[in-house]
Amino acid sequence: MILNDFFEELSDALFPPLCLACSEVLSGTAHEVFCPDCRRRITYITGSHCPVCGMIFPNSPSENHLCGNCLERKPWFSSARAAVAYDGVVLDAIRRFKYGRDITTGSALATFWAGFDFDDLDFHMFDAIVPVPLHIKRLRGRGFNQSLILARALGKKHRLMVDFSLLKRCKLTLTQTGLDKKDRVKNISGAFVAGPREKIRGKNLILVDDVYTTGATINECAKTLIRTGASKVAVLTLARVL
């Protein structure tokens, strides 16, 4: 253990951790990935929100309440929560991770995200974490599934199994970027199939993705799992489009 500590200190001295946004040397704890100045530029998801989909109500003096969308048509998932807004330094880092194929940035983001508590979610009530899957062709092109990297960091912190066999993507869809909500729902319909029913039936599952945009993808995933017998599906994402 002493030898390991020595090599960790030597590594930090030779290759000090840098802020994901501005590349300044970080002088705080090992779990910090943004410098204090860049952290102040991050919009954290706090305040009054919809208890189901997690939509926030900025500057609202009222307590949590259902949004119009969830009142009109309740989603298949029980709740959805995100840590931060998908903008600024977080948006840049996620794009570098996904489209720039920067695994180092992805690992740092996963550490950053796993540090959030999500106080209204009791992790002890869940049986497994399920990352939103990529189609095999997209997975080969990118080389990794960003949701799986995030899920593993969360599973390690909360000692929950990450099971990517419970959900598969069977349909190569168009990218959801640029599509409105109606077209996103149509595009993603029927894109997923569930794994073995006996591994899903009666289970409480946490579905993990990188960004919540309209909720179309995670709702389709949750529908697939619930129809296969899951008792409850909650959703956690790193960021959310506000």
Q: Rounded to 5 degrees, what angle do the CA atoms 7, 13, 18 make?
A: 115
Q: Residues 6 or more apart from 185 whose CB is under 8 A from it? A: 214, 216, 219, 220
What predicted TM-score, i.e. pTM, was given to this entire model?
Answer: 0.88
The ranges of the chain annotated as CATH 3.40.50 are: 44-240
Task: State the average pLDDT over residues 183-189.
Answer: 80
pLDDT of residue 1: 44
How high is the mean pLDDT of the chain?
89
pLDDT digits (tens, 9 = 90+) for 135-174: 999 899 999 999 999 999 999 999 999 999 999 999 887 5
Q: Grade residue 28 by pLDDT with cuts at 50, 70 and 90.
A: low
Considering 9-18, 60-69, 104-113, the range whose residues carry the highest mean pLDDT is 104-113
Handedness of CA 132, 108, 114, 66 (dihedral sign): negative
Beta bridge partners of 69: none
User: Exposed (0-12), middle (13-18) or buried (19+): which is 108, by Cβ within 10 Å?
Assistant: buried
Of the two residues 79 and 12, the one the predictor is more confident about is: 79
**What is the rounded CA–CA span in Å between residue 204 and residue 230?**
6
Is the pLDDT reported for residue 184 higher than 80?
no
pLDDT of residue 187: 81
Contact indicator for 32, 26 with CB cutoff of 8 Å: yes
Min mean pLDDT across 31-35, 63-67, 235-239 is at 31-35
Is the pLDDT reported for residue 210 higher than 50?
yes
**What is the rounded CA–CA span in Å between residue 163 and residue 138?**
20
> Tell me, which fold does domain 44-240 have in CATH?
Rossmann fold (3.40.50)
Contact indicator for 157, 129 with CB cutoff of 8 Å: no
pLDDT of residue 177: 65
Min mean pLDDT across 49-63, 121-135, 146-160 is at 49-63
* Inter-axis angle of helices 88-98 and 103-114, nearest 10: 130
pLDDT of residue 29: 63
